[in-house]
Amino acid sequence: MNARIALALTALLLAGPTLAQTRGLLKLPEMAGLADKASESVTVTLDQNLLGLGCRFLNAAEPDEAAAKKVCQSLTGIYVRKFSFDTEYAYPKADIDGIRRQLAAPGWSRIVEARSRKEQTDVDVYLLVDGGKARGLAVIASEPREFAVVNIVGSIDLEQLHDLEGKFGVPELEIESGKKAATPAPAVPPAKKPADPRAH
């Protein structure tokens, strides 16, 4: 019995790093056929090894690249699927629904939900919190002629995610990490009362 327990504990310890790396990782559809239909397509698949290699090419002397390098060093994966089409709804909604079902798993919470009937756009941002820390981020954005899925895995700081925009194929995320306090209006001094002529 003790031998079995020891073997089980050893297996868990060996699997620990792998589980930590895959926590927050979504299973994205291949979507290979969509690239032929799309007028534009972006596919980014960076696991921990490739991401580490990509981070090395960022120039630490450039402020924006130095900030992005600092962020990506705490990540274990960046996955982007983005397609644009010449006709409306040329992409299968079933693929997007399949991703949304994964985001219904425990730990995931939707932190942004934006809908526009006029522009027919839907944007959802999900965050995976584990042990009090953000471990995964997912963005699903769709409109009649375009859709994008972004999955970022690792230790995530929402305030620093903007530094990744435009790097490694990550589009503009438009995530508000906090609202700035409203600047109070300057105090208006009370109007002076006109002098009473009878006082003279």
In sequence order, which residues have a C-beta less than 8 Å from that of residue 59 and are 6 or more positions away? 65, 66
Q: Answer yes or no: is 113 within a domain.
A: yes
pLDDT of residue 68: 75
Q: Answer yes or no: is 135 within a domain.
A: yes
**In angstroms, rounded to a whole number, what is the distance separating the alpha carbons of residues 81 and 112?**
19
In sequence order, which residues have a C-beta less than 8 Å from that of residue 148 and are 6 or more positions away? 80, 81, 82, 83, 139, 140, 141, 142, 171
Q: Answer yes or no: is 52 within a domain.
A: yes
Structure token pair of residue 157: 């700081």
Q: Answer yes or no: is 196 within a domain.
A: no
Helices (H), the chain: 2-22, 32-37, 48-56, 63-72, 93-102
- Counting the structural domains of the chain, the total is 1
Handedness of CA 138, 150, 135, 93 (dihedral sign): positive
Q: Answer yes or no: is 186 within a domain.
A: no
Residue 31 DSSP one-character state: -
Owning domain of residue 138? 21-173
Q: Answer yes or no: is 180 within a domain.
A: no
Phi-psi region of 10 (alpha: psi -120 to 50; beta: other; left: phi over 0): alpha
Q: Answer yes or no: is 7 within a domain.
A: no
Q: Answer yes or no: is 43 within a domain.
A: yes
In sequence order, which residues have a C-beta less than 8 Å from that of residue 43 and are 6 or more positions away? 31, 35, 80, 81, 82, 169
Query: Is 115 in contact with 8 (CB distance < 8 Å)?
Result: no
Per-residue confidence in pLDDT tens, the chain, 200 aa: 334 333 332 233 333 333 344 678 999 887 777 888 899 999 989 888 888 787 777 777 677 777 777 777 888 998 999 999 999 988 888 888 899 999 999 999 998 898 888 888 899 999 999 888 889 999 999 999 999 999 999 988 777 666 666 666 676 665 554 433 333 344 444 455 555 555 55
